[in-house]
């Protein structure tokens, strides 16, 4: 049994990519350790692999610290591709991509592509024990990369019933909360 560390470098909401990696590794019979710390703890075990996810442009310094603690880590997320980075962040991201190469997974690399599987839609909710709802979104129905939140709500209003003043949509007996460009499903 191999040991893997998965790390949420930034963000306070559950990270679907890390949940997928964790589920895949556990299904393969490996032990997975979930951490939010970007530094290695004193008695932390040696790992067969380390994964991290960073989504905010301001986290590039955290990514650098994470790599210094785990030089063989693989880090994915929008931190590598976000155009809103200021010049200093962009230069640092480029330097890290040049230094670590394929360990920096850009947005064009899906979890499935990295794992070498055609499709994988399993999520490990145990790494977020306080989550009592399911997460996910359907790319086949909702593809909002070029739409504003207002467009999303306009689209949703034309197909579903908006509940109150909140960006909630009622589909049958399930309520769906619109959060940016992602739909988070929960049952009230």
Higher-scoring residue by pLDDT: 129, 172 = 129
| Predicted pLDDT at 160 | 42
pLDDT at site 165: 43
Confidence (pLDDT) at 63: 94
Count other C-beta atoms under 10 Å from residue 182's C-beta: 14
Q: Report whether pLDDT(182) > 50.
A: no
Residues of the chain with pLDDT > 70: what percent?
69
pLDDT of residue 13: 87
Q: What is the pLDDT of residue 119?
A: 81
Q: Distance (Å, rounded) from C-alpha 188 to C-alpha 185? A: 10
Q: Which tens digit of pLDDT belongs to each residue from 15-59?
A: 888 999 999 999 999 999 999 999 999 999 999 999 999 988 889
Give the pLDDT band of residue 136 (cuts 50, 70, 90).
Answer: low
Q: Environment class of residue 125 by beta-carbon count within 10 Å: exposed (0-12), middle (13-18) or buried (19+)?
A: middle
Please indicate whether residue 181 or residue 83 has the higher confidence score (pLDDT): 83
For residue range 139-158, what is the model confidence (pLDDT) as tens digits?
A: 333 333 333 344 444 444 44
Domains and CATH numbers, the chain: 3-127 (3.40.50), 133-188 (no CATH)
């Amino acid at each position: 049994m191999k040991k893997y560390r998965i790390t949420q470098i930034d963000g306070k909401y559950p990270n679907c990519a890390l949940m997928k990696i964790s589920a895949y590794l556990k299904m393969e019979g490996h032990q997975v350790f979930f951490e939010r710390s970007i530094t290695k703890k004193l008695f932390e075990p040696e790992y067969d692999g380390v994964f991290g996810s960073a989504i905010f442009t301001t986290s590039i310094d955290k990514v650098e610290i994470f790599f210094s603690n785990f030089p063989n880590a693989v880090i994915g997320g929008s931190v590598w591709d976000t155009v809103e980075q200021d010049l200093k962040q962009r230069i640092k991201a480029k330097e890290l991509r040049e230094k670590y190469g394929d360990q920096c997974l850009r947005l064009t690399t899906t979890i499935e592509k990295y794992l070498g599987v055609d499709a994988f839609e399993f999520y490990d909710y145990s790494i977020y024990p306080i989550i009592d709802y399911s997460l996910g979104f359907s790319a086949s129905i909702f593809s909002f990369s070029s739409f504003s939140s207002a467009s999303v709500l306009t689209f949703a209003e034309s197909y579903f019933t908006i509940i109150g003043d909140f960006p909630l949509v009622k589909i049958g007996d399930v309520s769906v909360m619109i959060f940016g460009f992602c739909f988070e499903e929960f049952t009230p």
